[in-house]
Chain A
Amino acid sequence: MKNVVEGSFAAAKAVQLCNPGVIAVYPITPQTHIPEELAKMIADGELDSEMVRVESEHSAMAACIGSQATGVRSYTATSSQGLALMHEMLFVASGMRLPIVMTNVNRTLSSPINIWNDQSDSFAERDSGWIQLYCENAQEIFDTHIQAFRIAEETLLPVMVCLDGYILSHTSEPVEFLDREAVVKFLPGYKPGFSLNPARPVTMGPLGTPEHFIYFKKQQDEAMGKALETIRKVNREYSSISGRLYGNGLIETVNLVDGKDSALITLGSVAGTARALLDKMGIGLIRLKSLRPFPLEELKKACQGLKSLGVLEKDISPGCNGALYNEVRSALYGLDGRPRISGFIAGLGGRDISMRDMEMVMRKIRCRNGKLPAKEGKEVVEWLM
């Protein structure tokens, strides 16, 4: 049965079914509907979680680190400035290998102050050691949250589920839920290898001297590498209970048949806009679902044979293009006959990316057909404004 619900409700519903022991949250626009829904579920007796009403997002993550360390499945949700305030605690969570799950409702960062959507907030945290999964629609929000707890607990890496503020969080769409039994079977109770317990004392988060520190970081990086396979596996297993498959869990290719020579790569909800124009414009789509770990090999394979590739992203690394553009170019550096890559910075601070904008972007990608833009004579990054 399909239910027409907001993206925020889809997230809250999935979290309810995953039944975390602790939810520590601080409200921030546009994440607020998620903790509101969860608080209501607890008040109505539909969810048996301890809701910790903290005084900041820094404390929210600190509380999650503490509760997860005692062996309790923990969840939080935030946006923008809230995520930025958590910054140092994100590294603590990932370094301690605590499988916390967090929803980040993507909103830009000040200044100037702006409460609307782009992906600058989570892109700024891509080196924090968290897995980052981006959703395209409300159904995927529901499904990705349930997968996220499995992925986190199997890899011992925290997972950030990213969804576009307002465009997804405040928009109602039809969503099919799973029943509790199916979720419990898919996601058994959390069993930590070690936890803080006075009966069996351990030390967590100790000092790491210069001699040892680098080994822990290498281990984290290797765990991210292994997470690629875990994400693929969880995506497959989840499809067997839900009937829904999201590419290979890491990237999804659409309309990218043999002989297709141009494609657009993007992530998040704007992929929906692109999808609607693929047939008309005759190009392919590569939707990146996992930004971390970055699916290097899959991306190279998807781009094999392409002449022209466009990267459309809602973030900017001032002074050095968009972050995704840089990562895609780096990934394809070693690919023989790699496509010419055009960058597009769009939708910053909630600026709409209309069908017309998308059509213009696709036309440029297709028309370049492996040639450099005539005026500049080199690969360029353009701003849609």
Chain B
Amino acid sequence: MEVETGAIVKEPGSSNKNKTGSWRTFRPLVSAKCTGCGICGWYCPEGAIKIIEKDGKKSVEIDYDYCKGCGICSRECAQKAIKMEKEEK
């Protein structure tokens, strides 16, 4: 295998390519109680949550390609709208 001296990654954007969602054991699920306040997104260490607006109602969307299932969003949600569910693989 050819590897770069000192393990330098010469091109930016490699973390986009390296999808870390497969590490997840618990999957956050957003219920209808969500008001789209976005607190979960501020706390998300992966930046995997964004606020969306659909039919005039705000909510959040989780990017499962990068969500590692840490559960911080669920813990911080003021509405208790995010449930962590064991993911069977």
Interface residues of A (CB under 8 A from B): 95-98, 156, 193-194, 201-206, 208, 212, 215-216, 219
Chain A residues with CB under 8 Å of B11's CB are 202
Q: Once the chains are docked, how many angstroms separate the CA of A96 from the CA of B1?
A: 18
Given A203-B14, A206-B14: A219 touches B3 (CB 8 Å cut-off) = yes
How large, as a class, is the contact surface on chain B? 10 to 19
Is the contact region of chain B dominated by helix, strand, or loop, or is it mixed?
loop
Q: Once the chains are docked, how many angstroms separate the CA of A205 from the CA of B8?
A: 7
Query: Does B32 reach chain A (CB closer than 8 Å)?
Result: no
B1 in contact with A219 (CB, 8 Å): no
Q: Once the chains are docked, how many angstroms separate the CA of A333 from the CA of B50?
A: 65
B6 in contact with A98 (CB, 8 Å): yes
Chain B residues with CB under 8 Å of A219's CB are 3, 5
Q: For the complex formed, measure the closest distance between the CB of A374 and the CB atoms of chain B, giving whole angstroms.
A: 54
Q: Which of B1, B5, B10 has the most CB of A within 10 A?
A: B5
Among residues of B, the one whose C-beta sits closest to the C-beta of A193 is B5
Chain B residues with CB under 8 Å of A194's CB are 8, 10
Chain A residues with CB under 8 Å of B5's CB are 97, 156, 193, 219
Given A212-B1, A215-B1: A95 touches B7 (CB 8 Å cut-off) = yes
A sample of 5 inter-chain contacts (CB < 8 A) reads A201-B12, A202-B10, A202-B12, A204-B9, A206-B9
Is the contact region of chain A dominated by helix, strand, or loop, or is it mixed?
loop
Given A212-B1, A215-B1: A205 touches B10 (CB 8 Å cut-off) = no
Chain B residues with CB under 8 Å of A208's CB are 7
Among residues of B, the one whose C-beta sits closest to the C-beta of A204 is B8
Q: Which of B1, B3, B12, B14 has the most CB of A within 10 A?
A: B3
Q: Which of B5, B6, B12 has the most CB of A within 10 A?
A: B6
Among residues of A, the one whose C-beta sits closest to the C-beta of B14 is A203
User: Which residues of chain B in 1-27 are interfacial with respect to chain A, using CB atoms and an 8 Å cutoff?
Assistant: 1, 3, 5-12, 14
B6 in contact with A95 (CB, 8 Å): yes
Q: Which of A95, A203, A205 has the most CB of B within 10 A?
A: A203
Q: Which of B3, B8, B14 has the most CB of A within 10 A?
A: B8
Q: Which of B7, B8, B12, B14 has the most CB of A within 10 A?
A: B7
Among residues of A, the one whose C-beta sits closest to the C-beta of B5 is A97
Chain A residues with CB under 8 Å of B9's CB are 202-204, 206
Q: Once the chains are docked, how many angstroms separate the CA of A206 from the CA of B14?
A: 10
Contact among B1, B3, B6, B12 with A204 in the assembled complex (CB-CB below 8 Å): B6
